Amino acid sequence: MSGLANPTIAILLTGMLVGMAGALLGSFLVLRGNSMLADAISHSILFGIALAWLATGETSGAVQIAGAALSGVLAVFLIETLARSRRLRDDAAIGLVFPALFSIGVVLINVFARDVHLDEHTVLLGEIGFVWLDTVTVAGLVVPRALLASATLLLVDALFVLAFYNALKLATFDPGLARALGLAPGLVFYAHLSLLSGTAVAAFDAVGVVLFVTFVVVPPAAAYLLCRRLSSLIAVAMLIAVASAPLGYGAALWLDVSVGGAMALATAPFLVGAFSWRRWRERRRYRAAQPPAVSASSSA
Amino acid sequence: MSDLRADIHTPHEPELALHIEDLTVSYGDRPALWDIDLNIPPGVLAGVVGPNGAGKSTLLKAILGLVPRSAGHVRLFGHPYKSQRKRVGYVPQRSSVDWDFPTTAVDVVTMGLYGQLGWWRWPGRRERDRALRALEEVGMEALADRQISELSGGQQQRVFIARALVQKPDLLLLDEPMAGVDATTERSIIDILSRLRSEGRTIVVVHHDLQTVQRYFDWLVFLNVRVIAAGEMAAVYSARNLRRTYGGQIALLDENGAAAPDAPGER
């Protein structure tokens, strides 16, 4: 048995890789103020996963991941189209589209796929505790399937961000200027969200839809409170995601609870810590800026 | 005219910095700009004034292709915008971006060069030097490495202007650059713009303060969904054009003592 198929190593590595990929792409999403799209995408891919399973009888594999990712892109397209019609607000469009695709996915699974491991509980929370049971052999190495999928997606995500860093950054900060300069922010936006969908599908088996959203939103939100540069924000967000995996795993063993749930919850102390640090720093600055007489009278 | 429009490679009105013909832009059923014809010669500092909802920002966005045109065409130095991208600088309204974004003043200015860098190249030493020089032009070099949320409104505006200057644009479009800045910053912004004009560049400024238009600009566009009047300041600045553009609101201005001549050419 190779090291990668060792249960503890497989669980920890999968958690870290999924966390890093989520935090990397999530940084741009959180800065754009589109965090809820992560929720929409990760729910909507269930529709695609159900369709891909019906068509091929498999739930994992490159074709299935790409196919299921399309349903995440479909969700974004529907949301954008509804919002652009100016008949619905953005948040209403999100709230309308993803529960619809999610529930169609649930119904498809209930009707056609009673016997497979796709049940509602796994869909929501995943089963990272069992990732080491489902393995494939790559170049003589026995690798858990979820680990291979999340490593591949992290690699693709990282290459995408490195190659299009300028365009992603400008499309996030000032889409108007990006467009005026010919850097097609709309195209960048869809490419980014397509990868987020693909990553959500790859992460799906391991952590489920709800926990994936945690990794996309919480580490970048915490890093946003700590960092003054985009590059350091991304690095800190990915570090928080990496640290949350062993922290959550330890907590899960100790309390005998869901590993995925504990890993997601383990991002919370980082957010609370970042929030408190930011408040403390702002208060200290505010006090330093006050003339002594004023601070004396206000403390009296 | 239609044959000229068909072939975008043939220069059309190349002697004009900006040539707009039959331009209409609609948001839903409501026209934001209606049948705009506008010519601006090179080397002028032009102001665009009009009431709220007159389509001033939309006009700039339509020139840059940021909003879809229902009809008409725009030519910059005789060519469509897409081929002139590198000659045009754009300063959007300051409120259009999130100033809490994790980045520094010099980094924002460097973003102005992303179009010239293209999709793949990363900004390096050379780009940073150019950005620092642009910050120097607006008197902000000392704050280059400051986090942008820590800058005052006027300093943020100057960073935005530097981001357009770093492109060395021949045509500069600014959307309300004086909105929400203090008097000193307003003075320095207009000094920068005047200097650029004396270098032969063309500048178009969306402006909201009628008290200062005559002092700041040498060319004026009265806009209210349609072009009410456009031309050299002395020829178009009149009480009649102000009334036609602003309707009833102009009475307030007269009370403030900003007397406008009744007919053009009185001065």
- What does each C-alpha distance from B40 to A100, B65, B209, B232, B233 come to in angstroms? 52, 18, 21, 10, 12
pLDDT digits 0-9 by tens, A169-207: 999 999 999 999 988 888 999 899 999 998 988 887 777
Q: What is the ipTM for the molecules in this complex?
A: 0.84
- Number of residue pairs across A and B with CB atoms under 8 Å? 74
For the residues B17-34, what does the mean pLDDT come to?
A: 85
Q: Which of B61, B66, B104, B114 to mutate to test the interface with A (most CBs of A within 10 A)?
A: B114
CB–CB contact A169 B88 (8 Å): no
Asked if residue B264 is part of any domain, the answer here is no
- The yes-or-no verdict on residue A216 having pLDDT over 50 is yes
Q: In chain A, where do the E strands start and end?
A: 135-138, 141-144
pLDDT at B156 over 90: yes
Whether pLDDT at A114 is above 70: no
User: d(Cα A54, Cα B34) in Å, to the nearest integer?
Assistant: 53
pLDDT of residue B7: 56
Instruction: Give the chain A residue whose CA is nearest to the CA of B67.
Output: A176
Give residue A74's pLDDT: 92
pLDDT tens figures, A5-46: 788 888 899 899 999 999 999 999 999 988 888 888 888 888
Under 8 Å between Cβ of A207 and A127: no
Q: What is the pLDDT of residue A130?
A: 73
Q: What is the pLDDT of residue A297?
A: 45
Number of domains in chain B: 1
What does each C-alpha distance from B54 to A78, B39, B205, B252 come to in angstroms?
Answer: 32, 18, 14, 18
CATH of domain A3-215: 1.10.3470.10
DSSP 3-state percent helix, strand, coil across chain B (nearest 5): 40, 25, 35
Q: What is the pLDDT of residue A27?
A: 96
Instruction: Name every residue in A having a CB less than 8 A away from some CB of B.
Output: 31, 33, 86, 163-167, 169-170, 172-174, 176-183, 224, 227-230, 232-233
What is the mean predicted confidence (pLDDT) over A150-162?
93
Report yes or no: A38 and A213 within 8 Å, Cβ to Cβ.
yes
Residues 6+ apart with CB under 8 A from B198: none
Say if residue A238's pLDDT is above 90: yes
d(CA B115, nearest CA chain A) in Å: 5
Nearest neighbour of B102 by CB, restricted to A166, A177, A224: A224
pLDDT class of A118 with cuts at 50, 70, 90: low
Mean pLDDT of chain B: 85
Confidence of residue A296 (pLDDT cuts 50, 70, 90): very low
pLDDT of residue B264: 45
Asked if residue B260 is part of any domain, the answer here is no
CB-based burial, A245-274: b 16+ in 10 Å, e otherwise? bbbbbebbeeeeebbbbbbbbbbeebbeeb
Q: Quick one: average pLDDT of A88-104?
A: 87
Whole-number Å distance between alpha carbons of A116 and A178 = 46
- CB neighbours (10 Å) of residue A293? 8
The enclosing domain of B192 has a CATH number of: 3.40.50.300
Residues of A in contact with B96 (CB under 8 A): 174, 176
Closest-CA residue in chain B for A230?
B102
What is the model's pTM?
Answer: 0.85
Left if phi > 0, otherwise alpha if psi is -120 to 50, otherwise beta: which for B35? Answer: left
Q: Are strands B171-175 and B88-91 parallel, antiparallel or unpaired?
A: parallel
- The sign of the CA dihedral B222, B228, B232, B233 is negative
The answer to whether residue B168 sits within a structural domain is: yes
SS3 A124: helix
**Domain presence at residue B41:** yes
Rounded Cα distance between B6 and B249, Å, is 42
Do A182 and B122 count as a contact with CB atoms less than 8 A apart? Answer: no
The pLDDT > 70 percentage for chain B reads 89
Could you tell me the pLDDT band of residue A124, with boundaries at 50, 70 and 90?
low
Q: Is the pLDDT of residue B178 over 80?
A: yes
Q: Do the strands B226-232 and B219-224 form a parallel or antiparallel pair, or are they unpaired?
A: antiparallel
Q: Exposed, middle or buried: residue B129 (CB in 10 Å: 0-12, 13-18, 19+)?
A: exposed
* A139 vs B102, higher pLDDT: B102
What is the pLDDT confidence band of residue B239, given thresholds at 50, 70 and 90?
A: confident
For residue B257, pLDDT over 50 is answered with no
Concatenated DSSP letters of B117-145? HTTTPPP-HHHHHHHHHHHHHTT-GGGTT
Binned at pLDDT 50, 70 and 90, residue A298 comes out as very low
Provide the CA A202 distance to its chain's centre, in angstroms: 11
Which residues sit opposite B173 in a β-bridge? B90, B204
What's the mean pLDDT in A139-153? 84
Query: What pLDDT score was predicted for residue B265?
Result: 41
* Inside any domain, residue B185: yes
The string of pLDDT tens digits covering residues A40-62 is 888 888 888 888 888 887 766 77
Residue A191 identity (one-letter amino acid)? A
Structure tokens that stand for A84 in this block: 């652009």
Distance of CA B21 to the CA centre of its chain: 18
Which amino acid type is present at position A33?
G
Query: How many residues belong to chain B?
Result: 267
What average pLDDT is seen over chain A?
85
- Its domain, for residue B96, covers 2-255
Q: Can you read off the two tokens belonging to residue A273?
A: 């810590």
Nearest chain A CA: its distance from B97 CA (Å): 6
Give the amino acid at B255.
E
- Contacts of residue B28 in chain A, CB cutoff 8 Å? 86
Within a domain: B261 = no
Q: What percent of chain A stands above pLDDT 90?
A: 36
